[in-house]
Structure 1
Protein backbone atom coordinates (compact mmCIF):
# COMPACT_ATOMS: atom_id res chain seq x y z
CA UNK A 1 0.00 0.00 0.00
CA UNK A 2 1.65 3.24 -1.10
CA UNK A 3 2.29 5.99 1.43
CA UNK A 4 1.24 9.64 1.23
CA UNK A 5 4.51 10.56 -0.45
CA UNK A 6 3.51 8.50 -3.49
CA UNK A 7 0.84 11.02 -4.49
CA UNK A 8 1.87 13.47 -7.21
CA UNK A 9 0.77 17.01 -6.36
CA UNK A 10 -0.47 19.07 -9.28
CA UNK A 11 1.23 22.45 -9.48
CA UNK A 12 -1.79 23.98 -11.22
CA UNK A 13 -3.46 26.67 -9.16
CA UNK A 14 -6.85 25.22 -8.29
CA UNK A 15 -7.75 27.70 -5.59
CA UNK A 16 -8.23 26.11 -2.21
CA UNK A 17 -8.43 22.57 -3.54
CA UNK A 18 -5.39 20.41 -4.21
CA UNK A 19 -5.16 17.77 -6.91
CA UNK A 20 -3.23 14.62 -6.17
CA UNK A 21 -2.62 11.46 -8.20
CA UNK A 22 -1.05 8.08 -7.43
CA UNK A 23 -0.83 4.56 -8.83
CA UNK A 24 -2.21 1.67 -6.82
CA UNK A 25 0.61 -0.75 -5.96
CA UNK A 26 0.32 -4.46 -5.24
CA UNK A 27 -0.46 -3.92 -1.54
CA UNK A 28 -3.49 -1.80 -2.49
CA UNK A 29 -4.98 -4.42 -4.80
CA UNK A 30 -8.55 -5.25 -3.71
CA UNK A 31 -8.70 -2.38 -1.21
CA UNK A 32 -11.78 -0.18 -0.90
CA UNK A 33 -11.33 3.18 -2.58
CA UNK A 34 -12.13 5.21 0.54
CA UNK A 35 -9.89 3.13 2.79
CA UNK A 36 -6.99 3.36 0.31
CA UNK A 37 -7.38 7.13 0.10
CA UNK A 38 -6.95 7.46 3.87
CA UNK A 39 -3.41 6.14 3.47
CA UNK A 40 -2.70 8.57 0.66
CA UNK A 41 -4.22 11.65 2.32
CA UNK A 42 -4.01 10.92 6.06
CA UNK A 43 -4.63 14.55 7.00
CA UNK A 44 -8.30 14.04 6.05
CA UNK A 45 -10.85 11.86 7.82
CA UNK A 46 -12.35 8.88 6.07
CA UNK A 47 -15.79 10.51 6.29
CA UNK A 48 -14.52 13.58 4.48
CA UNK A 49 -12.86 11.46 1.78
CA UNK A 50 -16.10 9.52 1.34
CA UNK A 51 -17.92 12.82 0.87
CA UNK A 52 -15.40 13.87 -1.79
CA UNK A 53 -15.93 10.57 -3.61
CA UNK A 54 -19.70 11.07 -3.56
CA UNK A 55 -19.22 14.67 -4.69
CA UNK A 56 -17.42 13.52 -7.86
CA UNK A 57 -13.90 14.51 -6.88
CA UNK A 58 -12.23 11.15 -7.62
CA UNK A 59 -11.35 9.41 -10.89
CA UNK A 60 -9.80 5.97 -11.41
CA UNK A 61 -8.04 5.53 -14.75
CA UNK A 62 -9.81 8.67 -15.89
CA UNK A 63 -13.28 7.38 -15.02
CA UNK A 64 -15.35 9.26 -12.45
CA UNK A 65 -16.24 7.08 -9.47
CA UNK A 66 -18.78 7.99 -6.78
CA UNK A 67 -18.88 4.76 -4.76
CA UNK A 68 -16.59 4.64 -1.75
CA UNK A 69 -16.72 0.82 -1.66
CA UNK A 70 -15.25 0.43 -5.17
CA UNK A 71 -12.44 -2.17 -5.08
CA UNK A 72 -9.16 -1.04 -6.60
CA UNK A 73 -6.78 -3.04 -8.77
CA UNK A 74 -3.01 -2.81 -8.81
CA UNK A 75 -1.74 -0.50 -11.55
CA UNK A 76 -4.80 1.77 -11.59
CA UNK A 77 -4.20 5.51 -11.43
CA UNK A 78 -6.29 7.39 -8.88
CA UNK A 79 -6.76 11.14 -9.01
CA UNK A 80 -8.53 13.18 -6.35
CA UNK A 81 -9.37 16.82 -5.83
CA UNK A 82 -8.78 17.33 -2.12
CA UNK A 83 -11.17 20.05 -1.03
CA UNK A 84 -10.94 21.65 2.42
CA UNK A 85 -13.32 20.36 5.07
CA UNK A 86 -16.30 22.51 5.94
CA UNK A 87 -14.88 22.90 9.44
CA UNK A 88 -11.61 24.31 8.08
CA UNK A 89 -13.57 26.99 6.25
CA UNK A 90 -15.53 28.02 9.34
CA UNK A 91 -13.15 30.64 10.73
CA UNK A 92 -13.14 32.85 7.65
CA UNK A 93 -14.06 36.45 7.17
CA UNK A 94 -17.33 37.03 5.29
CA UNK A 95 -18.42 40.59 4.68
CA UNK A 96 -21.95 41.20 5.89
CA UNK A 97 -24.00 44.14 7.08
CA UNK A 98 -23.98 44.19 10.89
CA UNK A 99 -25.90 46.63 13.07
CA UNK A 100 -23.59 47.87 15.84
CA UNK A 101 -25.31 49.86 18.58
CA UNK A 102 -22.02 50.45 20.42
CA UNK A 103 -18.36 49.97 19.55
CA UNK A 104 -14.97 51.05 20.78
CA UNK A 105 -11.49 49.53 20.62
CA UNK A 106 -12.32 47.01 23.37
CA UNK A 107 -15.79 45.65 22.60
CA UNK A 108 -18.85 45.94 20.43
CA UNK A 109 -22.56 45.37 20.92
CA UNK A 110 -24.37 44.11 17.85
CA UNK A 111 -28.10 43.94 17.15
CA UNK A 112 -28.36 40.45 15.67
CA UNK A 113 -31.18 39.81 13.18
CA UNK A 114 -33.36 36.73 13.47
CA UNK A 115 -32.13 33.89 11.27
CA UNK A 116 -28.43 34.59 11.75
CA UNK A 117 -26.48 31.77 13.42
CA UNK A 118 -24.01 33.09 15.98
CA UNK A 119 -21.15 30.59 15.75
CA UNK A 120 -20.14 27.99 13.12
CA UNK A 121 -21.25 24.44 13.89
CA UNK A 122 -22.46 21.36 12.04
CA UNK A 123 -24.90 22.45 9.35
CA UNK A 124 -23.82 26.09 9.57
CA UNK A 125 -20.11 26.30 8.81
CA UNK A 126 -20.38 29.67 7.09
CA UNK A 127 -22.58 32.75 6.99
CA UNK A 128 -22.53 33.13 10.78
CA UNK A 129 -22.19 36.19 12.97
CA UNK A 130 -18.63 35.13 13.75
CA UNK A 131 -17.77 35.14 10.03
CA UNK A 132 -19.11 38.68 9.81
CA UNK A 133 -17.16 39.77 12.88
CA UNK A 134 -13.94 38.42 11.35
CA UNK A 135 -14.52 40.62 8.29
CA UNK A 136 -15.37 43.66 10.40
CA UNK A 137 -12.52 43.18 12.86
CA UNK A 138 -9.74 40.91 11.48
CA UNK A 139 -8.00 40.73 14.87
CA UNK A 140 -10.99 38.66 16.05
CA UNK A 141 -9.20 35.70 14.43
CA UNK A 142 -6.75 35.75 17.36
CA UNK A 143 -9.49 35.61 20.00
CA UNK A 144 -11.37 32.61 21.45
CA UNK A 145 -14.53 32.09 19.38
CA UNK A 146 -13.81 35.32 17.54
CA UNK A 147 -14.59 37.34 20.68
CA UNK A 148 -18.09 35.90 21.17
CA UNK A 149 -18.78 35.53 24.90
CA UNK A 150 -22.50 34.61 24.84
CA UNK A 151 -25.05 33.58 22.28
CA UNK A 152 -28.57 34.07 21.05
CA UNK A 153 -30.54 31.33 19.34
CA UNK A 154 -30.56 31.51 15.55
CA UNK A 155 -34.16 32.77 15.43
CA UNK A 156 -33.90 35.15 18.37
CA UNK A 157 -33.12 38.75 17.48
CA UNK A 158 -31.45 41.43 19.53
CA UNK A 159 -28.40 42.52 21.46
CA UNK A 160 -25.14 40.64 21.97
CA UNK A 161 -21.82 41.88 23.34
CA UNK A 162 -18.54 40.69 21.82
CA UNK A 163 -14.98 41.37 22.90
CA UNK A 164 -12.39 42.84 20.56
CA UNK A 165 -9.32 42.21 22.70
CA UNK A 166 -8.25 39.28 24.85
CA UNK A 167 -8.48 41.54 27.92
CA UNK A 168 -12.09 42.42 27.11
CA UNK A 169 -13.06 38.84 26.24
CA UNK A 170 -11.65 37.58 29.55
CA UNK A 171 -13.32 40.33 31.57
CA UNK A 172 -16.68 39.95 29.82
CA UNK A 173 -16.64 36.19 30.34
CA UNK A 174 -16.07 36.75 34.05
CA UNK A 175 -18.87 39.29 34.52
CA UNK A 176 -21.29 37.13 32.55
CA UNK A 177 -20.42 34.16 34.77
CA UNK A 178 -20.91 36.41 37.81
CA UNK A 179 -24.34 37.44 36.43
CA UNK A 180 -23.31 41.08 36.21
CA UNK A 181 -24.46 41.50 32.61
CA UNK A 182 -28.19 42.20 32.71
CA UNK A 183 -30.23 40.93 29.77
CA UNK A 184 -33.88 41.79 29.15
CA UNK A 185 -36.12 40.41 26.43
CA UNK A 186 -39.51 41.04 24.89
CA UNK A 187 -41.70 38.07 23.98
CA UNK A 188 -45.17 37.16 22.79
CA UNK A 189 -46.65 34.14 24.52
CA UNK A 190 -49.86 32.19 24.25
CA UNK A 191 -52.37 32.66 27.04
CA UNK A 192 -53.43 35.43 29.38
CA UNK A 193 -50.62 36.75 31.58
CA UNK A 194 -51.82 39.54 33.86
CA UNK A 195 -49.54 39.28 36.89
CA UNK A 196 -45.81 39.25 37.45
CA UNK A 197 -44.33 35.82 38.07
CA UNK A 198 -40.96 34.10 38.37
CA UNK A 199 -39.88 30.67 37.15
CA UNK A 200 -37.01 29.31 39.20
CA UNK A 201 -36.51 25.84 37.74
CA UNK A 202 -33.26 24.04 36.96
CA UNK A 203 -32.67 22.94 33.37
CA UNK A 204 -30.75 20.29 31.46
CA UNK A 205 -30.57 18.80 27.99
CA UNK A 206 -33.78 16.93 27.19
CA UNK A 207 -32.99 13.21 27.68
CA UNK A 208 -35.29 12.26 24.79
CA UNK A 209 -34.60 14.99 22.21
CA UNK A 210 -31.06 16.33 22.12
CA UNK A 211 -32.12 19.49 20.26
CA UNK A 212 -34.26 20.58 23.21
CA UNK A 213 -33.74 21.64 26.80
CA UNK A 214 -36.01 20.60 29.66
CA UNK A 215 -36.90 21.35 33.26
CA UNK A 216 -34.91 19.11 35.59
CA UNK A 217 -34.71 18.28 39.29
CA UNK A 218 -32.30 20.63 41.05
CA UNK A 219 -29.78 17.83 41.60
CA UNK A 220 -29.72 16.92 37.90
CA UNK A 221 -29.83 20.31 36.19
CA UNK A 222 -28.27 23.77 36.31
CA UNK A 223 -30.03 26.60 38.18
CA UNK A 224 -32.18 28.82 35.98
CA UNK A 225 -34.37 31.77 36.95
CA UNK A 226 -36.45 34.14 34.84
CA UNK A 227 -38.75 36.98 35.91
CA UNK A 228 -41.80 37.74 33.74
CA UNK A 229 -43.74 41.02 33.66
CA UNK A 230 -46.97 41.38 31.61
CA UNK A 231 -47.22 44.32 29.23
CA UNK A 232 -50.58 43.68 27.59
CA UNK A 233 -52.96 41.05 26.29
CA UNK A 234 -54.63 40.73 22.91
CA UNK A 235 -56.49 38.03 21.02
CA UNK A 236 -56.06 36.14 17.77
CA UNK A 237 -59.08 34.15 16.63
CA UNK A 238 -60.43 34.20 20.16
CA UNK A 239 -57.19 32.98 21.73
CA UNK A 240 -55.32 35.32 24.10
CA UNK A 241 -51.71 36.27 23.43
CA UNK A 242 -49.68 38.20 25.98
CA UNK A 243 -46.84 40.63 25.50
CA UNK A 244 -44.20 39.93 28.13
CA UNK A 245 -41.06 41.59 29.48
CA UNK A 246 -38.56 38.87 30.48
CA UNK A 247 -35.56 39.39 32.76
CA UNK A 248 -32.85 36.74 32.92
CA UNK A 249 -30.98 35.95 36.13
CA UNK A 250 -29.11 33.07 34.50
CA UNK A 251 -28.28 32.36 30.87
CA UNK A 252 -29.14 28.77 30.09
CA UNK A 253 -29.72 27.60 26.53
CA UNK A 254 -33.39 28.19 25.54
CA UNK A 255 -34.09 29.40 29.09
CA UNK A 256 -36.95 31.84 28.40
CA UNK A 257 -38.54 29.48 25.90
CA UNK A 258 -38.49 26.54 28.31
CA UNK A 259 -39.66 28.58 31.31
CA UNK A 260 -42.59 30.01 29.36
CA UNK A 261 -43.57 26.54 28.18
CA UNK A 262 -43.29 25.25 31.76
CA UNK A 263 -45.59 28.04 32.96
CA UNK A 264 -48.23 27.04 30.42
CA UNK A 265 -47.53 29.95 28.08
CA UNK A 266 -45.43 28.70 25.15
CA UNK A 267 -43.95 31.41 23.01
CA UNK A 268 -45.76 32.33 19.80
CA UNK A 269 -44.29 30.47 16.78
CA UNK A 270 -41.89 28.50 18.99
CA UNK A 271 -42.81 25.15 17.47
CA UNK A 272 -39.93 23.35 19.22
CA UNK A 273 -41.62 24.00 22.55
CA UNK A 274 -45.27 23.79 21.57
CA UNK A 275 -45.94 27.37 20.57
CA UNK A 276 -48.23 27.56 17.54
CA UNK A 277 -47.46 30.13 14.82
CA UNK A 278 -49.57 33.30 14.69
CA UNK A 279 -49.46 36.96 13.72
CA UNK A 280 -47.42 36.20 10.61
CA UNK A 281 -44.33 35.26 12.62
CA UNK A 282 -42.06 32.64 11.07
CA UNK A 283 -39.78 32.36 14.14
CA UNK A 284 -40.14 32.35 17.91
CA UNK A 285 -41.36 35.71 19.16
CA UNK A 286 -38.32 36.63 21.24
CA UNK A 287 -36.13 39.73 21.07
CA UNK A 288 -33.15 40.70 23.27
CA UNK A 289 -34.17 44.32 23.75
CA UNK A 290 -31.92 45.65 26.52
CA UNK A 291 -28.37 44.95 27.65
CA UNK A 292 -26.69 46.67 30.60
CA UNK A 293 -23.26 46.16 32.11
CA UNK A 294 -20.15 47.97 33.27
CA UNK A 295 -17.54 48.45 30.58
CA UNK A 296 -14.70 46.10 31.62
CA UNK A 297 -11.95 48.58 30.72
CA UNK A 298 -13.33 52.11 31.10
CA UNK A 299 -15.71 51.37 33.96
CA UNK A 300 -18.50 53.21 32.13
CA UNK A 301 -22.06 52.05 32.85
CA UNK A 302 -23.52 50.96 29.51
CA UNK A 303 -27.27 50.62 28.96
CA UNK A 304 -28.08 49.67 25.37
CA UNK A 305 -31.40 49.02 23.69
CA UNK A 306 -32.61 47.68 20.36
CA UNK A 307 -36.11 48.30 19.00
CA UNK A 308 -38.32 45.43 17.96
CA UNK A 309 -37.53 44.22 14.42
CA UNK A 310 -40.23 44.63 11.80
CA UNK A 311 -41.80 41.17 12.16
CA UNK A 312 -42.21 41.39 15.94
CA UNK A 313 -43.20 45.06 15.83
CA UNK A 314 -46.04 44.23 13.45
CA UNK A 315 -47.16 41.29 15.61
CA UNK A 316 -46.90 43.41 18.76
CA UNK A 317 -49.07 46.12 17.24
CA UNK A 318 -51.63 43.60 15.99
CA UNK A 319 -52.50 42.42 19.49
CA UNK A 320 -52.69 46.04 20.71
CA UNK A 321 -50.13 45.40 23.42
CA UNK A 322 -49.24 48.02 26.02
CA UNK A 323 -46.36 50.43 25.57
CA UNK A 324 -42.87 48.98 25.53
CA UNK A 325 -40.94 49.18 28.81
CA UNK A 326 -38.54 52.08 29.40
Structure 2
Protein backbone atom coordinates (compact mmCIF):
# COMPACT_ATOMS: atom_id res chain seq x y z
CA UNK A 1 0.00 0.00 0.00
CA UNK A 2 1.37 3.42 -0.97
CA UNK A 3 1.84 6.21 1.58
CA UNK A 4 -1.04 8.18 0.07
CA UNK A 5 -3.35 5.13 0.20
CA UNK A 6 -2.36 4.49 3.82
CA UNK A 7 -3.11 8.11 4.74
CA UNK A 8 -6.48 7.93 3.01
CA UNK A 9 -7.33 4.73 4.88
CA UNK A 10 -6.36 6.38 8.17
CA UNK A 11 -8.53 9.43 7.46
CA UNK A 12 -11.43 7.17 6.50
CA UNK A 13 -11.02 5.14 9.70
CA UNK A 14 -10.88 8.36 11.73
CA UNK A 15 -14.04 9.67 10.08
CA UNK A 16 -15.85 6.39 10.71
CA UNK A 17 -14.81 6.32 14.38
CA UNK A 18 -15.23 10.00 15.30
CA UNK A 19 -17.30 11.58 12.54
CA UNK A 20 -20.56 11.25 14.42
CA UNK A 21 -19.48 13.74 17.10
CA UNK A 22 -20.00 17.49 16.99
CA UNK A 23 -17.09 19.72 15.94
CA UNK A 24 -18.41 23.26 16.49
CA UNK A 25 -17.18 26.21 14.47
CA UNK A 26 -15.37 29.20 16.03
CA UNK A 27 -13.60 26.79 18.36
CA UNK A 28 -10.01 26.22 19.39
CA UNK A 29 -9.21 22.48 19.46
CA UNK A 30 -6.34 21.77 21.88
CA UNK A 31 -4.89 18.53 20.52
CA UNK A 32 -2.51 16.22 22.37
CA UNK A 33 0.13 14.95 19.94
CA UNK A 34 2.27 11.78 20.22
CA UNK A 35 5.24 11.95 22.63
CA UNK A 36 7.26 9.66 20.40
CA UNK A 37 5.19 6.92 18.81
CA UNK A 38 2.95 8.19 16.01
CA UNK A 39 0.62 5.24 16.51
CA UNK A 40 -0.51 6.79 19.80
CA UNK A 41 -2.36 9.59 17.97
CA UNK A 42 -6.11 9.15 18.49
CA UNK A 43 -8.56 8.72 15.59
CA UNK A 44 -10.61 11.58 17.04
CA UNK A 45 -7.58 13.89 16.89
CA UNK A 46 -6.89 12.82 13.30
CA UNK A 47 -10.48 13.54 12.29
CA UNK A 48 -10.50 16.93 14.04
CA UNK A 49 -7.32 17.94 12.21
CA UNK A 50 -8.93 16.99 8.93
CA UNK A 51 -11.79 19.41 9.68
CA UNK A 52 -9.98 22.49 11.01
CA UNK A 53 -9.26 25.50 8.83
CA UNK A 54 -5.82 26.16 10.30
CA UNK A 55 -3.36 24.66 12.76
CA UNK A 56 -1.54 26.75 15.35
CA UNK A 57 1.55 25.00 16.68
CA UNK A 58 4.70 25.32 18.78
CA UNK A 59 7.03 24.47 15.88
CA UNK A 60 5.74 24.59 12.30
CA UNK A 61 8.42 22.14 11.12
CA UNK A 62 7.41 19.46 13.63
CA UNK A 63 3.68 19.86 13.01
CA UNK A 64 4.12 20.00 9.23
CA UNK A 65 5.79 16.58 9.42
CA UNK A 66 2.93 15.18 11.48
CA UNK A 67 0.34 16.53 9.04
CA UNK A 68 2.23 15.05 6.08
CA UNK A 69 2.20 11.68 7.86
CA UNK A 70 -1.59 11.99 8.12
CA UNK A 71 -1.96 13.09 4.49
CA UNK A 72 -3.15 16.58 5.49
CA UNK A 73 -2.13 20.06 4.36
CA UNK A 74 -3.27 22.99 6.52
CA UNK A 75 -2.22 26.63 6.99
CA UNK A 76 0.16 26.79 9.96
CA UNK A 77 0.43 29.53 12.60
CA UNK A 78 3.52 29.58 14.84
CA UNK A 79 2.49 30.00 18.48
CA UNK A 80 5.38 29.35 20.87
CA UNK A 81 6.63 30.57 24.24
CA UNK A 82 8.25 33.69 22.76
CA UNK A 83 5.25 34.96 20.79
CA UNK A 84 2.20 33.31 22.36
CA UNK A 85 0.63 36.56 23.49
CA UNK A 86 0.87 38.30 20.12
CA UNK A 87 0.29 35.21 17.96
CA UNK A 88 -2.98 34.60 19.77
CA UNK A 89 -4.40 37.57 17.84
CA UNK A 90 -4.02 35.64 14.58
CA UNK A 91 -5.94 32.72 16.03
CA UNK A 92 -8.65 35.01 17.44
CA UNK A 93 -9.09 36.65 14.03
CA UNK A 94 -9.79 33.26 12.44
CA UNK A 95 -12.15 32.22 15.24
CA UNK A 96 -14.05 35.51 14.85
CA UNK A 97 -14.73 34.49 11.24
CA UNK A 98 -16.23 31.20 12.42
CA UNK A 99 -13.23 29.03 11.59
CA UNK A 100 -12.01 26.00 13.50
CA UNK A 101 -8.39 26.18 14.65
CA UNK A 102 -6.33 23.40 16.26
CA UNK A 103 -3.36 23.93 18.55
CA UNK A 104 -0.54 21.38 18.96
CA UNK A 105 2.69 21.56 20.90
CA UNK A 106 5.67 19.54 19.69
CA UNK A 107 4.84 16.47 21.80
CA UNK A 108 2.23 15.61 24.39
CA UNK A 109 -0.57 17.72 25.81
CA UNK A 110 -0.32 21.50 25.25
CA UNK A 111 -0.46 23.99 28.15
CA UNK A 112 0.96 21.57 30.74
CA UNK A 113 4.72 21.96 30.35
CA UNK A 114 4.49 23.29 26.79
CA UNK A 115 2.93 26.52 25.45
CA UNK A 116 -0.83 26.77 25.02
CA UNK A 117 -2.13 28.10 28.33
CA UNK A 118 -1.93 31.75 27.26
CA UNK A 119 -3.63 30.97 23.95
CA UNK A 120 -6.46 29.04 25.63
CA UNK A 121 -6.94 31.88 28.12
CA UNK A 122 -7.10 34.49 25.37
CA UNK A 123 -9.59 32.44 23.36
CA UNK A 124 -11.88 31.95 26.35
CA UNK A 125 -11.62 35.62 27.29
CA UNK A 126 -12.77 36.52 23.78
CA UNK A 127 -15.87 34.37 24.24
CA UNK A 128 -14.87 31.44 22.04
CA UNK A 129 -14.94 27.79 22.99
CA UNK A 130 -11.83 25.74 23.82
CA UNK A 131 -12.30 22.02 23.18
CA UNK A 132 -9.62 19.59 24.44
CA UNK A 133 -8.75 16.40 22.57
CA UNK A 134 -6.86 14.27 25.11
CA UNK A 135 -4.03 11.94 24.29
CA UNK A 136 -0.42 11.21 25.12
CA UNK A 137 1.15 12.72 28.25
CA UNK A 138 4.70 11.96 29.37
CA UNK A 139 3.68 12.73 32.97
CA UNK A 140 0.90 10.16 33.16
CA UNK A 141 2.83 7.65 31.05
CA UNK A 142 5.80 7.79 33.44
CA UNK A 143 3.61 7.48 36.52
CA UNK A 144 1.72 4.51 35.09
CA UNK A 145 4.95 2.51 34.81
CA UNK A 146 6.71 3.72 37.98
CA UNK A 147 4.64 1.63 40.39
CA UNK A 148 4.68 4.26 43.12
CA UNK A 149 3.35 2.89 46.41
CA UNK A 150 3.37 4.02 50.00
CA UNK A 151 2.56 7.69 49.40
CA UNK A 152 0.96 9.66 52.21
CA UNK A 153 -2.14 10.16 50.06
CA UNK A 154 -3.46 10.02 46.50
CA UNK A 155 -2.26 12.26 43.71
CA UNK A 156 1.08 13.41 42.40
CA UNK A 157 3.09 16.60 41.95
CA UNK A 158 4.30 17.77 38.55
CA UNK A 159 7.42 19.93 38.68
CA UNK A 160 8.29 19.95 34.96
CA UNK A 161 11.75 21.22 34.06
CA UNK A 162 13.80 22.48 37.00
CA UNK A 163 15.64 25.82 36.69
CA UNK A 164 18.85 25.34 34.72
CA UNK A 165 21.39 26.09 37.45
CA UNK A 166 22.28 27.75 40.71
CA UNK A 167 20.51 28.00 44.02
CA UNK A 168 17.14 28.31 42.30
CA UNK A 169 17.59 24.84 40.78
CA UNK A 170 18.70 23.31 44.07
CA UNK A 171 15.81 24.87 45.96
CA UNK A 172 13.32 23.59 43.39
CA UNK A 173 14.77 20.08 43.62
CA UNK A 174 14.62 20.06 47.42
CA UNK A 175 11.03 21.29 47.27
CA UNK A 176 10.21 18.40 44.92
CA UNK A 177 11.82 15.91 47.30
CA UNK A 178 9.78 17.33 50.18
CA UNK A 179 6.46 16.57 48.47
CA UNK A 180 4.50 13.83 50.31
CA UNK A 181 3.42 12.32 46.98
CA UNK A 182 5.27 11.14 43.85
CA UNK A 183 6.80 13.98 41.83
CA UNK A 184 7.46 13.99 38.08
CA UNK A 185 10.35 15.99 36.63
CA UNK A 186 11.45 16.51 33.05
CA UNK A 187 15.16 16.78 32.29
CA UNK A 188 17.35 17.44 29.26
CA UNK A 189 20.10 14.94 28.35
CA UNK A 190 22.93 17.42 29.01
CA UNK A 191 21.74 17.91 32.61
CA UNK A 192 20.56 14.42 33.53
CA UNK A 193 23.86 13.33 35.12
CA UNK A 194 24.01 16.46 37.26
CA UNK A 195 20.47 15.72 38.42
CA UNK A 196 21.46 12.14 39.24
CA UNK A 197 24.44 13.31 41.29
CA UNK A 198 22.34 15.77 43.27
CA UNK A 199 19.57 13.25 43.95
CA UNK A 200 22.17 10.76 45.18
CA UNK A 201 23.51 13.37 47.60
CA UNK A 202 20.17 14.70 48.83
CA UNK A 203 18.07 11.54 49.06
CA UNK A 204 20.19 8.41 48.53
CA UNK A 205 17.53 5.94 49.68
CA UNK A 206 14.65 7.45 47.69
CA UNK A 207 13.41 5.23 44.84
CA UNK A 208 13.60 7.03 41.50
CA UNK A 209 12.14 5.85 38.20
CA UNK A 210 14.07 6.98 35.12
CA UNK A 211 11.96 7.01 31.96
CA UNK A 212 14.01 7.54 28.80
CA UNK A 213 12.58 7.96 25.31
CA UNK A 214 9.03 7.06 26.37
CA UNK A 215 7.00 5.23 23.68
CA UNK A 216 9.94 5.29 21.24
CA UNK A 217 11.87 2.34 19.84
CA UNK A 218 14.60 2.48 22.50
CA UNK A 219 12.34 3.25 25.45
CA UNK A 220 13.93 2.47 28.79
CA UNK A 221 12.30 2.49 32.25
CA UNK A 222 14.25 1.58 35.40
CA UNK A 223 13.64 2.12 39.11
CA UNK A 224 16.52 2.23 41.59
CA UNK A 225 17.60 4.07 44.77
CA UNK A 226 18.90 7.55 44.08
CA UNK A 227 22.32 6.58 45.46
CA UNK A 228 22.77 4.21 42.50
CA UNK A 229 21.83 6.72 39.79
CA UNK A 230 25.34 8.10 39.03
CA UNK A 231 26.75 4.59 38.52
CA UNK A 232 23.72 3.60 36.42
CA UNK A 233 24.29 6.47 34.00
CA UNK A 234 28.06 5.90 33.91
CA UNK A 235 27.63 2.23 33.04
CA UNK A 236 26.22 2.92 29.56
CA UNK A 237 26.61 6.09 27.46
CA UNK A 238 23.29 5.37 25.74
CA UNK A 239 21.49 5.93 29.03
CA UNK A 240 22.47 9.61 28.92
CA UNK A 241 20.81 10.22 25.54
CA UNK A 242 17.21 11.11 24.72
CA UNK A 243 14.37 12.78 26.56
CA UNK A 244 13.79 12.05 30.23
CA UNK A 245 10.83 11.94 32.58
CA UNK A 246 11.97 11.29 36.15
CA UNK A 247 9.60 10.07 38.88
CA UNK A 248 10.66 10.75 42.46
CA UNK A 249 8.74 8.23 44.53
CA UNK A 250 7.05 9.51 47.67
CA UNK A 251 9.17 9.57 50.83
CA UNK A 252 8.63 6.80 53.35
CA UNK A 253 5.87 7.74 55.79
CA UNK A 254 7.19 8.50 59.27
CA UNK A 255 7.14 5.42 61.46
CA UNK A 256 7.44 2.84 58.68
CA UNK A 257 10.45 0.58 58.50
CA UNK A 258 12.94 1.33 55.76
CA UNK A 259 15.15 -1.49 54.48
CA UNK A 260 18.93 -1.25 54.73
CA UNK A 261 20.74 2.01 54.27
CA UNK A 262 23.13 2.49 51.32
CA UNK A 263 26.81 1.93 52.25
CA UNK A 264 27.74 5.62 51.88
CA UNK A 265 24.93 6.62 54.24
CA UNK A 266 26.08 4.05 56.79
CA UNK A 267 29.66 5.36 56.56
CA UNK A 268 28.47 8.90 57.24
CA UNK A 269 26.39 7.74 60.19
CA UNK A 270 29.26 5.69 61.66
CA UNK A 271 31.65 8.65 61.55
CA UNK A 272 29.13 10.93 63.25
CA UNK A 273 28.11 8.45 65.96
CA UNK A 274 31.76 7.98 66.98
CA UNK A 275 32.05 11.57 68.23
CA UNK A 276 28.49 12.86 68.78
CA UNK A 277 25.50 11.95 70.95
CA UNK A 278 23.16 9.58 69.15
CA UNK A 279 20.31 12.02 68.50
CA UNK A 280 22.65 14.75 67.30
CA UNK A 281 24.48 12.31 65.01
CA UNK A 282 21.20 11.09 63.51
CA UNK A 283 19.90 14.62 62.92
CA UNK A 284 23.11 15.65 61.19
CA UNK A 285 23.25 12.46 59.10
CA UNK A 286 19.66 13.01 57.95
CA UNK A 287 20.51 16.57 56.90
CA UNK A 288 23.66 15.51 55.04
CA UNK A 289 22.30 12.44 53.22
CA UNK A 290 18.54 12.92 52.98
CA UNK A 291 18.01 9.45 54.46
CA UNK A 292 14.90 8.92 56.65
CA UNK A 293 15.63 9.95 60.23
CA UNK A 294 13.80 6.98 61.74
CA UNK A 295 15.88 4.52 59.68
CA UNK A 296 19.11 6.28 60.71
CA UNK A 297 18.08 6.23 64.36
CA UNK A 298 17.20 2.53 64.27
CA UNK A 299 20.54 1.70 62.67
CA UNK A 300 22.56 3.80 65.12
CA UNK A 301 20.64 2.30 68.05
CA UNK A 302 21.28 -1.21 66.73
CA UNK A 303 25.03 -0.48 66.54
CA UNK A 304 25.03 0.89 70.09
CA UNK A 305 23.16 -2.13 71.44
CA UNK A 306 25.49 -4.51 69.61
CA UNK A 307 28.51 -2.72 71.07
CA UNK A 308 27.03 -2.85 74.57
CA UNK A 309 26.29 -6.57 74.22
CA UNK A 310 29.85 -7.20 73.00
CA UNK A 311 31.29 -5.38 76.01
CA UNK A 312 29.00 -7.31 78.36
CA UNK A 313 30.13 -10.54 76.77
CA UNK A 314 33.80 -9.67 77.19
CA UNK A 315 33.25 -8.80 80.87
CA UNK A 316 31.41 -12.06 81.46
CA UNK A 317 34.23 -13.99 79.85
CA UNK A 318 36.79 -12.20 82.03
CA UNK A 319 34.88 -13.16 85.17
Q: Provide the TM-score with structure 2 as the length reference.
A: 0.29
Q: Which has the higher contact order (CA 8 A, sep 6+)?
A: 2
Q: Provide the TM-score with structure 1 as the length reference.
A: 0.28
